Structure 1
């Protein structure tokens, strides 16, 4: 019932602490933090050997409950998107997901409910009931709420409940039929393009609606330089907006589609090199608040098709930490900034009691070696699918242990 983690580098991004010491877990909670803690009788003692011990990652955007993959990636809480086989648009579905999560010996799972009924974008969903049942935010996932009046009503309604609306930053009309970045490569390969303007227009419109209603809005995936600049301008004006991106937008540009490589097909699409660099700068200066995996397992049957027909999406749970640390190792982003985006900021936005090393909080922990080199090999993934554009890519930063509620769910040694 007790475990003492000794000789750790304790990093808590919620209060920006970075110290050497020990951490004691009892009955699933953090019982003590400090130096030279004496282990209770019968306690397990784990020597971290200088590795970083931090709160576990809270992945704010996953399309699948892929527990083994999440645990291997240091993720202790998965935020499930509503576009499941059974759409998450009612309190009954939310309750079923929460009960299943609480009963299982796996990572924690919290659903985002659909923002509009049936994700059709026409009528506001029953946000209050779903929130009471355990939904942590509301979104139409890969569909923007395109009707401005519906979005206004949604923000007004969510403000009454203190709920967070998550918007997909893409104007449907401009993006219709597209699946690649509208640029030189798409023209040369004959691919249907989506202009960066589709992202900017959605962000600027909803920033105005957020200002009008006084309710916050979060943008699920920002992919372009213009999108980052639009968010930065809105924040400078005091508008309550936040945004996220995923590691593949920091690591790849649209050249990854060269040769019609379907494993690099994602939505929103990978964009140009200037966009990639702008996203890294946006994470570094705090314009981008959150890093997500956008974990979306797809079978070979739907990925190994002509590019226009292939499904969009990559697996990202097991590579989320290492790929995010790539911009830390290159000197472009501070380690504390990256960990905030993975851990404490999602917890704060979703009002979850995790993402901190405070005494008395749940012992959802990640222990990792930030410097350890390894090679991403899709054949070694624990994920239910292997669709990654990063196969054989060398990285630094490996998860050693993942602990949820005091229980070790993943161990590199095992």
Structure 2
């Protein structure tokens, strides 16, 4: 099929920053793109050929949107899977598949998927209602501390809480959830695996992630991870096993823990471009966003090696600021060597909302990390 400067139409469910960064590449290749998002101010609106406003969880909205396009992908997991399944049955190519998304959407199903296939992950218990957790504690079924996760609709640190006492159970959402063993880890790692329909597979280098202690969001992504070569190889092998089990098309970001005993345990996956790959825009031969487009269109996959060491700093809304966004001191960080800011186009800021990211590249990763710290301490996402 001729994708370039043709009548071919690629649909993207979700018009957030991930969609916007995918569109950098569809514009580069002159591929027609249609975007569906619930917000009139979606960051992707400015860069697509056709924009539709609508509810991503509504069957008819997603189904009717999908009928307009030849290939359909998504930049967010919270979409109507039944509509995707019907579209597939009628010949629309949906990547990643509705089957994989149905498993990944639900963290309990996702954990059972790993368990059933002997893939290494932390111990967990599944509950239909959060109220059942207290009984499990009293009966000795689970012990403090543990990690509570909502089975569905969690994102960017929401739907996750470390539970250390009965008091921490207060106010939790009532629905289906899991209680995971709290892992004593050395590092949180991630590997992005790309796969196209022909079965060509490539992995990106292992990255190391540093999280904000309160918001449970990634603050820094460091590539390559500062770990021994044998641990990096083990992490990539685990990611490839997960990829093979899902037999996905597109990108699969596999988040993992490196334990104190150097075991690699799967935390969770995302079937799309991911926060752990943002540095690939400046630091890699092929960005994760271009690679996702290549993969879902069954084009040859690009080179995944890093050209230079890269660190990504998340730009999130500062605490105590809500309203029209201001990027304080952005000119100062642009004076720093190897620094590139990416502003997502969200007009309104609020505490911990993802508003952009900054990539720092340098041949010396230690220097890059020092500059990243300066960037983090200099730029502030505030409101007028």
Q: Quickly name the TM-score band, shorter chain normalised.
A: 0.3 to 0.5
The normalised TM-score by structure 2 is 0.34
Higher RCO (CA-CA < 8 Å; seq separation 6+): 1
More strand by percentage? 2
The normalised TM-score by structure 1 is 0.32
